[in-house]
A and B are shown apart, each in its own frame.
Chain A
């Protein structure tokens, strides 16, 4: 009987192909949308963490209070000791120092006369200490547009947009004008090694990067740093753990009399990111819920209509002597298999498309050109384990549920009306 029914399902497109197509489309869209929303969301968190906030960030209290001004005169000065303490206290985190500093980049001619100059934001990161993983974290190699990454401390890398503004090319000399942490003037010449595009409008505007040790040297910040960023070893932000670590670290300095005592701030508590994350999380959950619900109703309806369309067949089967229970369960089994096939194909397609969008994404940099927030300029999906069931389960259950409802008619039907119904 099972073989016979399968043969019928395969031959009758209204029983097989159409429901399978509807389920496949529904499930794949559900899976893709869930992956895409999640991808954009986690990309936002990840981009913010990598470029600016870390999963946790340590500054001195006064630096934190004036952080918008990048007050390097209030920087951390006992960096090596602090890092050692952190490494032993929080072994699940990697700590990397960064110095942000403002200044002017000047482009001289052969005679040293200024051709062009412009204000920029400098970033001192560990370019040569591979153990810090900063090149990979900021995707400098992938973001390289022209030239190469610096090979020596006297080399500098500019954002592509900034280099075009200053009309400089790899190999050209640029001079940094700025101030040390003590307020003295700094003039330092660098050879431009290349340009990068971070894919972030804020950083792409006018950023330049030099090695962290060189930044310490020119800014007179020996054993100091403006910010010390902590990243979980698996590079995945853990909201609950970061809040615990933040609490425990800050508690140890609560009664410190040092006005430059460090303060730790989790990603959630920086720049009002917590409410943004909660808002995005809430909206993405609502969106996914509504989407799954809507798709479930479409699929449920498919199962329902599929069952109703087969009343003639059920009538004949009952007349031939098949029991109502047998007809009903065979309908459910059929629906289960159709749901299984549709949900499997739908999940496969949805995850595949998510993977494609994870690797490629949609470039929205043009729309973010004048944006002041750190937001990924390429919207990418993210393939996560939940994508394998978020569409699959509703796809499977909706079909079976729809069929079970339409199949109730088999039990409620008065068998005696068969002759009449079958004459329609």
Chain B
């Protein structure tokens, strides 16, 4: 793991107007993430986990402070620059799998590459490789409704990872999975984390996820309450 931080948040605050007052979802958060980290942001509902992931994913910008993601100041990015950053360097995994039902597994994964100027041949190679990472090569022509929950989340991982992003943001990725599938998914992600040096940042409540994390950041009322390094499962 490189020691150079790829994400640096300095005195980051995010507030929303609520009933004429400012409600702080994040308050004065300073934290950094290094390349190939496997980190979880945990905390109760309303603690600011999702807001933090949104800002890192360039889906939102801070009210004050600085968020540098891959040397891009999120506050200064235009919509299209933010979209470009997400397109090239950031992958997302959601709690519900959000696969497009009319497309096959192959096409769902390929979708993530269509905005980049890869040739069809190159895309095919990348998609098949991504499906191989998650063990779904044989399911490439199936539609999402023919997949189990675990398989669907694997497709979502392949879709997020196919462009080999530098950062992968996962919002409660195991919330809809049983224990067996959750462990299997986490193992896959851990392997990808090691092989591709992708930085994984989870937002989670799930104890099963926490066992895999190499670092845990606990948020409470928009502030960092605790931070600890873990001895994670591999």
Query: Do residues A325 and B80 form an inter-chain contact, with CB atoms below 8 A?
Result: yes
Query: How many residue pairs at the A-B interface have CB separations less than 8 Å?
Result: 81
State the CA gap A424–B60 with chains docked (Å): 20
State the CA gap A324–B80 with chains docked (Å): 8
Query: Do residues B88 and A423 form an inter-chain contact, with CB atoms below 8 A?
Result: no
- Interface SS of A by simple majority: helix
Q: Which stretch (B34-42, B98-106, B215-223) binds chain A?
A: B98-106
Query: Do residues A4 and B114 form an inter-chain contact, with CB atoms below 8 A?
Result: yes
Q: Does B107 contact A (CB under 8 A)?
A: yes
Query: Do residues B59 and A416 form an inter-chain contact, with CB atoms below 8 A?
Result: yes
Query: Do residues A416 and B60 form an inter-chain contact, with CB atoms below 8 A?
Result: yes
Query: Do residues A313 and B53 form an inter-chain contact, with CB atoms below 8 A?
Result: no
Q: Which residues of B32-62 are within 8 A (CB) of A? A: 50-51, 53-54, 57, 59-60
Q: Which stretch (B89-97, B145-153, B204-212) binds chain A?
A: B89-97
Query: Do residues A8 and B96 form an inter-chain contact, with CB atoms below 8 A?
Result: no
State the CA gap A144–B172 with chains docked (Å): 84
Q: What sequence of 0s and 1s flags, for each residue 1-22 of chain A, a beta carbon within 8 Å of any chain B beta carbon?
A: 1001001100110000000000
Query: Do residues B59 and A319 form an inter-chain contact, with CB atoms below 8 A?
Result: yes
> Which residues in B have their C-beta under 8 angstroms from that of A326?
83, 115
Q: Does A363 contact B (CB under 8 A)?
A: no
Q: Does B112 contact A (CB under 8 A)?
A: yes
Query: Do residues A11 and B102 form an inter-chain contact, with CB atoms below 8 A?
Result: yes
State the CA gap A4–B120 with chains docked (Å): 12
Take A4-B107, A316-B98, A422-B94 as given contacts and tell me if A416 and B115 are in contact as well, using a CB distance cutoff of 8 Å: no
Q: Does A312 contact B (CB under 8 A)?
A: yes
State the CA gap A12–B144 with chains docked (Å): 14
Residue of B nearest to A9 (CB): B102
State the CA gap A7–B101 with chains docked (Å): 12
**A134 → B minimal CB distance (Å):** 65
Query: Do residues A312 and B98 form an inter-chain contact, with CB atoms below 8 A?
Result: yes
**B17 → A minimal CB distance (Å):** 13
State the CA gap A136–B93 with chains docked (Å): 77
Query: Do residues A321 and B86 form an inter-chain contact, with CB atoms below 8 A?
Result: yes
Take A4-B114, A319-B86, A322-B115 as given contacts and tell me if A422 and B80 are in contact as well, using a CB distance cutoff of 8 Å: no
Q: Does A223 contact B (CB under 8 A)?
A: no
Q: Does A218 contact B (CB under 8 A)?
A: no
State the CA gap A403–B215 with chains docked (Å): 46
Q: Does B188 contact A (CB under 8 A)?
A: no
Query: Do residues B107 and A323 form an inter-chain contact, with CB atoms below 8 A?
Result: no
Option from A8, A318, A321, A416 in Cβ contact (under 8 Å) with B102? A8
Q: Does B171 contact A (CB under 8 A)?
A: yes
Take A321-B115, A416-B54 as given contacts and tell me if A12 and B102 are in contact as well, using a CB distance cutoff of 8 Å: yes
Query: Do residues B83 and A422 form an inter-chain contact, with CB atoms below 8 A?
Result: no
**A407 → B minimal CB distance (Å):** 15
Query: Do residues B111 and A4 form an inter-chain contact, with CB atoms below 8 A?
Result: yes
Q: Which residues of A4-47 are within 8 A (CB) of B? A: 4, 7-8, 11-12
Take A318-B83, A320-B86, A416-B54 as given contacts and tell me if A313 and B100 are in contact as well, using a CB distance cutoff of 8 Å: yes
Query: Do residues B83 and A419 form an inter-chain contact, with CB atoms below 8 A?
Result: no
Q: Does A418 contact B (CB under 8 A)?
A: yes
**B175 → A minimal CB distance (Å):** 9
State the CA gap A82–B127 with chains docked (Å): 89
> Which residues in A have their C-beta under 8 angstroms from that of B51?
416
> Which residues in B have their C-beta under 8 angstroms from that of A422?
94, 96, 98
Take A8-B102, A312-B98, A313-B100 as given contacts and tell me if A320 and B87 are in contact as well, using a CB distance cutoff of 8 Å: yes
Query: Do residues A423 and B96 form an inter-chain contact, with CB atoms below 8 A?
Result: yes
Option from A313, A320, A423 in Cβ contact (under 8 Å) with B112? A320
Query: Do residues B59 and A7 form an inter-chain contact, with CB atoms below 8 A?
Result: no
Residue of A nearest to B114 (CB): A1
**A154 → B minimal CB distance (Å):** 79
Take A422-B96, A423-B94 as given contacts and tell me if A324 and B59 are in contact as well, using a CB distance cutoff of 8 Å: no
> Which residues in B have their C-beta under 8 angstroms from that of A233?
none
Query: Do residues B111 and A320 form an inter-chain contact, with CB atoms below 8 A?
Result: yes
Residue of B nearest to A313 (CB): B100
Q: Does A130 contact B (CB under 8 A)?
A: no
Query: Do residues B87 and A322 form an inter-chain contact, with CB atoms below 8 A?
Result: yes
Query: Do residues B107 and A7 form an inter-chain contact, with CB atoms below 8 A?
Result: yes
Option from A321, A325, A419 in Cβ contact (under 8 Å) with B54? A419
Q: Which residues of A313-368 are within 8 A (CB) of B? A: 313, 315-316, 318-326
**B107 → A minimal CB distance (Å):** 7
> Which residues in A have their C-beta under 8 angstroms from that of B114?
1, 4
State the CA gap A313–B100 with chains docked (Å): 7
Query: Do residues A419 and B111 form an inter-chain contact, with CB atoms below 8 A?
Result: no
> Which residues in A have their C-beta under 8 angstroms from that of B83?
318, 321-324, 326
Q: Does A282 contact B (CB under 8 A)?
A: no
Given A4-B111, A316-B100, 10 more pairs with CB closer than 8 A: A7-B103, A8-B102, A319-B57, A319-B92, A322-B87, A323-B79, A326-B115, A416-B54, A419-B171, A423-B94
A-B contact pairs, 13 of them (CB 8 A): A1-B114, A4-B111, A8-B100, A319-B57, A319-B59, A319-B92, A321-B83, A321-B115, A323-B83, A414-B60, A420-B50, A422-B94, A423-B94
Give the 7 A-B residue pairs with the shortest CB-CB distance, closest first.
A321-B87, A416-B60, A321-B86, A323-B83, A11-B102, A12-B102, A416-B54
